[in-house]
């Protein structure tokens, strides 16, 4: 049994869902079928997070760099996203989950974009959990776009240079209004961030597992949470200082 302290759950979990292609290879099937199986793992994780009371779940579904993959694979991923939205909207409503996105949504196919907007709108009042999909997302790109908008606002007299600090910068990011991730999970045995939430992960606890995304289960999620709960988040302070605070 994996022991979890239900009073010490991470508020925000972010996941780099990696390994669909290798899973497909292992099973001697095409990559697209690996992605399809990966979408099932998404359903399990969303449901579990909602059930146990995680407030924010951010899933890295498609990176800016992923646009460079073979056109057929990109197309299939867009199709799967479309299918997920069609099938899952009802379930999101039922579970009180609000859908949000981060990334360059304008680059998505207009039909997928429309469906996303609809789902975001229809779930906007749900307050049990935020499911935040990173689509066409890149961390460096997000930071650059924030800088550009700050410069524009400065020119228009909306923001003074002396007002630019960590808090105001946050407002120009896609994740505005969301707490930074407490826990990042990356599957498939890769030890890298791959341009995900670069600014927001300054103090995130990192958890890496060899499990390939399509094989990721509820128990794997619990293992990650249990590992997170064993850590001491010091934010630069000493253990002694933390004891004084708590």
Cβ of residue 61: shortest distance to ligand IPE, in angstroms?
6
Q: Which of 7, 18, 20, 219 is catalytic?
A: 18
Q: Give how far Cα 157 sits from Cα of 120, 148, 153, 154, Å.
A: 32, 14, 6, 5
Shorter beta-carbon distance to ligand IPE: residue 9 or 185: 185
Residues at the interface with Mg ion (CB under 5 A): 18
Under the binding rule (CB under 6 A), the answer on residue 61 touching ligand IPE is: yes
Q: Are strands 56-63 and 12-16 parallel, antiparallel or unpaired?
A: parallel
One symbol per residue from 2 to 21: x for binding ligand IPE (CB under 6 A), - otherwise; what is it? --------------xxxxxx
What's the CA gap between 17 and 14, in Å, rounded? 9
Concerning whether 153 is annotated as a catalytic residue, the answer is no
One symbol per residue from 175 to 194: x for binding ligand IPE (CB under 6 A), - otherwise; what is it? -------------x-x-x-x
Under the binding rule (CB under 6 A), the answer on residue 209 touching ligand IPE is: no
What's the CA gap between 118 and 59, in Å, rounded? 19
Are 205 and 185 spatial neighbours (Cβ–Cβ below 8 Å)?
Answer: no
Residue nearest to Mg ion (CB): 18
Number of residues that bind ligand IPE (CB under 6 A): 18
Query: Cβ contacts of residue 30 below 8 Å, gap of 6+?
Result: 24
Shorter beta-carbon distance to ligand IPE: residue 62 or 228: 62
Concerning whether 127 is annotated as a catalytic residue, the answer is no
Q: What is the CA radius of gyration of the chain?
A: 19
Q: Which of 5, 7, 20, 66 is catalytic?
A: 66
DSSP letters spanning 99-158 = EEEES-GGGS-HHHHHHHHHHHHHTTT--SEEEEEEEEE-HHHHHHHHHHHHHHHHHTTS
Catalytic amino acids? 18, 66
Binding site for ligand IPE (CB under 6 A): 16-22, 60-63, 65-66, 77, 188, 190, 192, 194
């Amino acid at each position: 049994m994996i022991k979890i302290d239900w009073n010490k759950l991470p508020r925000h979990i972010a996941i780099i869902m990696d390994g669909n292609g290798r899973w497909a290879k292992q099973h001697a099937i095409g990559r697209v079928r690996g992605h399809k199986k990966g979408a099932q793992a998404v359903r399990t994780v969303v449901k579990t997070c909602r059930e146990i009371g995680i407030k924010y779940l951010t899933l890295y579904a498609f990176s800016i760099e992923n646009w460079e993959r073979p056109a057929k694979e990109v197309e299939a991923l867009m199709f799967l996203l479309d299918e997920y939205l069609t099938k899952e909207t009802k379930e999101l409503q039922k579970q009180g989950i609000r859908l949000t996105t981060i990334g360059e949504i304008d680059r998505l196919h207009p039909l997928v974009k429309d469906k996303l907007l609809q789902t975001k709108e229809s779930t906007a009042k749900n307050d049990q959990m935020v499911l935040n999909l990173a689509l066409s997302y890149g961390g460096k790109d997000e930071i650059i776009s924030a800088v550009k908008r700050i410069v524009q606002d400065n020119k228009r007299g909306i923001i003074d240079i002396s007002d630019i600090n960590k808090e105001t910068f946050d407002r120009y990011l896609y994740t505005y209004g969301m707490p930074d991730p407490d826990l990042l999970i990356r599957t498939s045995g890769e030890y890298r961030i791959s341009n995900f939430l670069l600014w927001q992960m300054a103090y995130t606890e990192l958890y890496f597992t060899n499990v390939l995304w399509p094989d990721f289960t509820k128990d794997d999620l619990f293992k990650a949470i249990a590992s997170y709960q064993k850590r001491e988040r010091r934010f630069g302070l000493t253990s002694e200082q933390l004891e004084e605070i708590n």
